[in-house]
Structure 1
Amino acid sequence: MKWSILLLQAGLSEAAIRFGCSTVSIQRLDPVVQPGMIPSAHVHQIVGGNAFGPKMEGDIGEQASCTTCVYTEDLSNYWTAVMYFRHENGSYMRVPQYPNAQLGTLGADDRTIKGGMTIYYTQKDFWDNGQEYITSFPPGFRMTVGNPATDSLDAARSNRGLRYTCLQDILTRGSETADFPTQPCPAGIMAIHHFPACWDGKNLDSPDHQSHMYDTTLGGFREAGPCPESHPIRVPQLAYETMWDTSVFRDMWPKDGSQPFVWSFGGTRGYGTHADYAFGWKGDSLQRVMNDSCMFHRCGSPGVQGVLKTQTVEEMNACAVKDMVMEETEGWLDELPGAGEAPVEMEGKWVAM
């Protein structure tokens, strides 16, 4: 698909937003990598609008009726694989998620949000917005980052936007690694996904869901490098943070000291971490905030009238997607959902589940 760009003469953009989204669904669906397949190869945790399903086409911002994100005009979908704990007896249990700290849009008790993750749209880095015009993603836009077939530490390190933090407390930052922490983390594991921010300006997707983008990301919310001529359009720097509460398994850590966590696609080292994005902001709302001069809470939060409208935690948590796969993903499981099924093609490679 092609998209013609009309750059707005609105001056240079200066906004950045950070907000929480509760869980909208946990099931084996992947409308970007495996559209129409029920079930997909592995379990995903999804946040955002309720237009999410096995196959999504067109402008999902016009199709969804609610969102689990704090900003009501954001009907996009964001998803990653699910983290499981593997017990010494060979059974598995899904690791619960908990909300990030200081979201600013959730009121006094951030932890009342239902799982989910934190979403960022930044323009230069975490502290400054720079002086470059930022173009919103267009309706129908899709992309992924990472690959579940990544099978070495060197390959994982080469993607500087995909990292883990062993949380000493909810505010721990830095000390990022490309693989799972090898020791128990007091406050859990934060999985971090930074997407590319250079677009070719033409294609809403590509066969591998990545070639229409170019990655100049340095990770750690540092300023990314300039976009190349092949991908000249600077779009918002999209990032996810998911707080996995691995601390609930601290009394079950294997006696041999081995790392017990595993992604839902079977990755035991963390190398294959990946994430998907389907744009669904309503109308021109994302471009509108990118053209504003607000940063984070000042773009809209309880008690602060900003360019974006917010909703309550109760309204976020009430939005949901029905289970279309009808399989057990909770409690103690004998095997990961999808394990033992025939190999499937994922992001250009055949992966045995």
Structure 2
Amino acid sequence: MFVNKSSLLLLSLGSLTGLSDAFWRMSCSIIQTGRIDPIVSPGEVASHVHKISGASNIGPNSTYESLQSSSCTSCEINKDLSAYWTPLLYYEHANGSFEEVPNGGMAVYYLGRGDNKTNIQPFPPGFRMLSGDAAARSFNDTPVSSVEGAEPYGNRVSFNCLTDSPNPQSPQMNMTDCDNGLRAQIQFQSCWDGVNKYLPDNSHVAYMSIIDNGACPPGYPVQLMHLFYEVLYSVSDIALDGGKFVFAQGDPTGYGFHGDFLNGWDVDTLQAGIDQCAIANEAGVVHECPVFAGIDDQNFSTDCPARLPEIDEPVHGVIDKLPGCITVTPGPEDATLADFVCPASAPEPTLLDVDSDSGQVIGSTVNGWTYMGCANEPTGVRALGDATYTSNNMTNEACQSFCAGKGSPMAGTEYATQCYCGSALASGSSLNQTCSNMLCSGSEMEYCGGPDRLSVYQKA
């Protein structure tokens, strides 16, 4: 199994300071990375890259109903099949290339806040919203509502540079020399009109007067749980060379940081969580809320690892340009539609027809090897017990080539990095198991088994 530094940092994300009301904090790993946004760009390739957490079958056409068929979630509460996403952060090197900044996921806070918090309602099926403005390149000082003392929109976004000494939070990405990571934070709207589950201009929801607390404006009678995301980027892992950090929508300022939420909660579970823990759970620990204690999966990152991307284009590592027709715009003027949208003559990447929860088709043959299915590791022996090797650049093709060189007709990949060879499965191992579908360490376009599960191939 491979674990990057950002995955470990995720476990030590900071919490809200001065928190005196009730909440629960849920950790999430990444389920998919790519130009996917079923809220803004349903059924299409989105303008820029997001890192998505949550329901395993998230895709361009996702709805509440489709999320309910997910086999798992990359968040720790397994009755929450919602999807949560934010833009990917890159570093633009001096030579013009872009390098992905490591990130292992996010922390999602559900807070019982607001002047009407004793009447909080659950998100209804079909509810979705986004917070922030991807085009923003300067601070928006417009008040969020007409309520007296309302905060400016610009305060919904904040950054915290984590070092050994505390640093003040900022609404812009102005401090990036952060030994312990750069934490991006976004507050969501908590006031709903009670009618529309989504409107393209996002006017079905509104912010509380001080964004993370306070009063709802007129016309928004329904109080919702207050959502807050923390996303930690391992900026110290990047070798700086005079370039700059930039979000996937071409934003080097941070003012355009944004987040999306597509509700997938089991309604009864969320209602029970609100009833029992939205007011009383002051510690914020998921398993201390009785509703969640039995459905809190501490192994969420391995039980529901990242899925294959649904857009056929490079987004990881070092790439020549930002995915999409993105122009890096430093502001202070907002980015324009032309800075995001490709001309009609530009080729579109392929929108792959990937079934995220089932992976490859049993019986399919590629390069002379047939996929046989997923096999379990039996107790005390290996399912394929001949030659083996491990690599951080593992692919199924590399494993098959290795096994062919060893004279073995069967090859199996496991835990993203491991390859095993043999002539037959050992006693106690059988095919047609459920694989966790871990992405190969050497390819973002294929699966290499999972924990104690082998993706098995046989020479045709």
TM bin, normalised by shorter chain, reads: 0.7 to 0.9
Find the partner of 1:212 among 191, 199, 204. 204
In 2, distance between residues paired with 1:69 and 1:165?
Answer: 23
Deviation at 1:316, TM superposition (A): 4.9
Contact 2:273 2:289 in 1 (8 A): no
Residue 300 of structure 1, CA deviation:
3.8
1:162 aligns with 2:154: no
Q: Pick closer, same or farther for the CA change 1:154–1:197 going to 2, 3 Å.
A: closer
Task: Look at both structures and tell me which one has the larger radius of gyration over its CA atoms.
Answer: 2
The farther-off stretch of 281-290 and 315-324 is: 315-324
Alignment-derived partner of residue 323 in structure 2 = 337
Partner of 1:10: none
Change (3 A) 1:206 1:164: same
Once the two structures are superposed, the pairs formed by residues 177-256 of structure 1 within 5 Å of their partners are 177-208=170-201, 210-216=202-208, 218=210, 221=212, 224-249=213-238, 251-254=239-242
Give per-residue Cα distances to partners, 1:73-109, cap 9 Å, x unaligned: 1110000110001111111111011xxxxxxxxxxxx
**Is 1:19 matched up with 2:26?**
yes
Q: Is 1:266 aligned with 2:250?
A: yes
Q: Deviations over 1:287-344 (max 9, x none)?
A: 110100442667643xx57211111325655344332112111121111111369xxx
Q: In 2, distance between residues paired with 1:217 and 1:61?
A: 32
Alpha-carbon displacement from aligned partner over 1:3-35 (angstroms, at most 9, x marks no partner): xxxxxxxxxxx8521010010001111100011
Contact between 2:22 and 2:283, CA under 8 Å: does it hold in 1?
no
**Does the residue aligned with 2:272 lie in a helix, a strand or coil?**
helix
1:164-187 alpha-carbon deviations (Å, 9 max, x no partner): 111115x95x72211112451222
**Aligned ranges 1:258-337 → 2 under 5 Å:** 260-293=244-277, 294-295=280-281, 300-301=286-287, 306-308=290-292, 309-313=295-299, 316-337=302-323
User: 1:131 offset after TM fit, Å?
Assistant: 5.4
Contact 1:161 1:218 survives alignment (8 Å): no
Partner of 2:47: 41
1:352 aligns with 2:339: yes
Gaps of at least 5 residues in structure 1 are 1-13, 98-114, 342-347
Match of 2:76 among 70, 76, 79: 70
Contact 1:71 1:310 survives alignment (8 Å)? yes
The whole-number CA distance in structure 2 between the counterparts of 1:86 and 1:206 is 34
Describe the SS at the equivalent of 1:291.
helix
SS at match of 1:54: coil
Q: Is the 8 A contact 1:68 1:315 kept in 2?
A: yes
Asked if the contact 1:84–1:263 (Cα under 8 Å) also holds between the matched residues in 2, the reply is yes
- Using the TM superposition, give the Cα deviation of residue 271 of structure 1 relative to its aligned residue in structure 2, in angstroms: 1.5
Relative to structure 1, the CA distance from residue 313 to residue 188 in structure 2 (aligned partners, 3 Å threshold; closer, same or farther) is same
Q: 1:69–1:316: 8 Å Cα contact kept in structure 2?
A: no
Structure 1 residues 351, 182: CA separation in 2 closer, same or farther (over 3 Å shift)? Answer: farther
Structure 2, gaps ≥5 residues long: 1-20, 143-151, 328-334, 341-460
Per-residue CA shift, 1:171-210, capped at 9, x if unaligned?
A: 95x72211112451222211101001000001100022x2
RMSD: 2.6
Change (3 A) 1:15 1:188: closer
CA distance in 2, matches of 1:349, 1:142: 24
SS at match of 1:79: strand
Asked whether 1:31 is paired with 2:38, we answer yes
| Counterpart in the other structure of 2:97 | 91
CA contact (8 A) 2:25 2:284 kept: no
The answer as to whether partners of 2:49 and 2:249 remain within 8 angstroms in 1 is yes
Identity, % of aligned pairs?
A: 32
Secondary structure of residue in 1 paired with 2:203: coil
After superposition, give the CA deviation of every residue in 1:245-282 in whole Å (9 maximum; x if it has no partner).
10112x4252xxx7x10000111111211111000012
